[in-house]
A and B are shown apart, each in its own frame.
Chain A
């Protein structure tokens, strides 16, 4: 079986070949991971930027850090059953685990100091599939690409003197991004209400509903409150909205109608900065009913990552690039906070409403 020995020079050459193959693979791996090579926009860079703005609060979400765990159910009307095979849209009732929050990256921000409020839902189907969605008050985003969104988060860095974003920087950002017009119109007309329960929340991105015959209908969803809104009256309590919500639940549950807006063929379905024409058809897909609230620390929503791409079959992500970038940023935030462990409730006395 023995070969005659190789001459030293060709042995050296062959060792060289082996070396090149192995180091080439290793270098390709490091490049793919982003450890070497050009700086690319990454999930880690996004979360770093959130941390620069809101500070690092171990164990808390890197965005929407302050919130309240709530739960109830979704009563589907079946109105969207013809558009999507997902069980959530068939007539019937499914349990809901949800979280109400404000937009800030710090768990210590007063409830009414943040212009953005959010409602995130997790609806579990009987086959184990889930629909997770994280909704915000604005119906559109100021910009439509992850790169521009990254720039926006940078422009929102709080000025150390005021603790707020620098208005001149924000203005310059919006001027550079005329696609923000739709968002700015909303921001100018938005009247914050006195309650999480009377706030309208938007899914912002388009999603595709898949019918039994395979046909695709892009939609945007929103939760329209069923209770009458009243204007916000600041009462000095940093947890004003959480307190109000818990007190309200002692009287009656909070309810929202789930509205699906149906896109027409030429509507922008891959750009969350662009609104659709107001006359688009809407479906009342069902009612979200929330009847219990608990502090997030130790609450059922604390360890839930409301990744908007956890979808049941029958609902799919659209091509919206910001929607598609969200999942990996959420995963990175979840990885960091679970590595730190849950924050201690006693160390955060101002956190959360009494259940």
Chain B
């Protein structure tokens, strides 16, 4: 079983840092921010599609990290917890703004966002590069329709019903694709030691 490469021993772990943040340690907070701000900004930009709104998202997400650090469950890992907060915020924001005329996807097969990848900061990518590669590879292993259903929900904030309408498929088909796709993804990430 291939395990993800851990950070060098001398680096303070995310776990240690978030525990210090729970005790109102601002320096620990800054370290976590420096580690994850690029990942969160990338996620916000991909989901929200607008730099300014994504900047506001980063601020609000990390503010929530500061406020909720005390409720962080030590038996879990930090990154999924952070991304959970980030994703919830972005989807809520997306749905709130949906009435406005800015399309998130111009074409369901080609998320607007893939174009943003050109501006990726290479040094930041290196930090979480290993995990990013594994998750991206895992997603690529899914059949196209399954991946599409998952991406439309995760990055597009669409419900199963909305996806079905959009793609012109029966609702049951979308439910099945989402289910099978996520189960397969979970299996791959478990094999890689990224998920329990």
Report whether chain A binds chain B.
no
B residues whose Cβ falls under 8 Å from a Cβ of A: none
